[in-house]
Homo-oligomer: A and B are copies of this chain.
Amino acid sequence: MARIAILGGTGPEGVGLAMRLAQLGEPVVIGSRQASRAAEAAAKIAAAVPSARVSGGTNEVVVPDADYVVLGFPFAGLAPFLAEHAAALAGKIVIDIINPLVMRRGVFSVPQFPEGSAGELAQQMAPQARVVSAFKTLSAEHLQELHEPLTGDVILCGEDETAKQEVAQLVRRIPNLRPLDAGAMINSRAIEAITAMLLNLNRRYKAVTSIQILGID
């Protein structure tokens, strides 16, 4: 039984993933900079998943006890968070679900910055953490529609093979999802760019899209 802390678990993606993980019976702890916001999100998850074992607390409180730490806050918060908390993540499996996005004239894209992707930035700033990028291309909307199975593949990447295998096991327990390991963390650039493209497709086709890889049995 893994203790999963979801930081930024107050946003739509974090809340959605917390609900899906709570459905698996995993103890989930929502982390936020403000304890009150974490408690509110925990209450929302408990209301949606009656069997949930969920609580909330400040990031400082929830990180030390967690086996898995999900980074689910907006990209703007990533570097400041890691500057303060990298040491607390040492040795832990850190699941990065962050999508850096910019929107200009109605079009989503990924910003260009030296590290190349949120996943690479996280691993560079927290070198002792076992960072795995995952869940980035799942829509927050779909994650929160608990009566519907999720669709699409969860593409993983990162430098720690064992950590990726553990995250893959967790993904496999969520009905209908298939984990696929794209390899090194640099693939996070592609995965984050896919999210921007899916959001553009969503707008154009008035749809909620996900992606599936064909050709792997």
Interface residues of A (CB under 8 A from B): 107, 109-110, 112, 116, 151-152, 155, 180-184, 186-187, 189-191, 193-194, 196-198, 200-205, 207-216
- The docked-state distance in angstroms from the alpha carbon of A110 to that of B193 is 11
A209 and B204 within 8 A (CB): no
Closest CB of chain B to A119's CB: distance in Å?
Answer: 12
- The docked-state distance in angstroms from the alpha carbon of A205 to that of B152 is 18
- The docked-state distance in angstroms from the alpha carbon of A182 to that of B186 is 23
Closest 5 CB pairs of A and B: A190-B193, A190-B197, A209-B215, A193-B193, A183-B200
Q: Which partner residue on chain B sits nearest A152 by CB separation?
A: B214
Which B residues touch A181, using CB under 8 A?
204
Q: Which partner residue on chain B sits nearest A113 by CB separation?
A: B112
Which B residues touch A213, using CB under 8 A?
198, 201, 209-212
A155 and B207 within 8 A (CB): no
Which B residues touch A187, using CB under 8 A?
107, 109, 196-197, 200
A215's contact among B155, B180, B186, B208, by CB below 8 Å, is which? B208
Known: A209-B214, A210-B213. 10 other contacts (CB 8 A): A107-B187, A110-B190, A181-B204, A183-B201, A184-B200, A193-B193, A198-B213, A201-B216, A211-B211, A212-B213
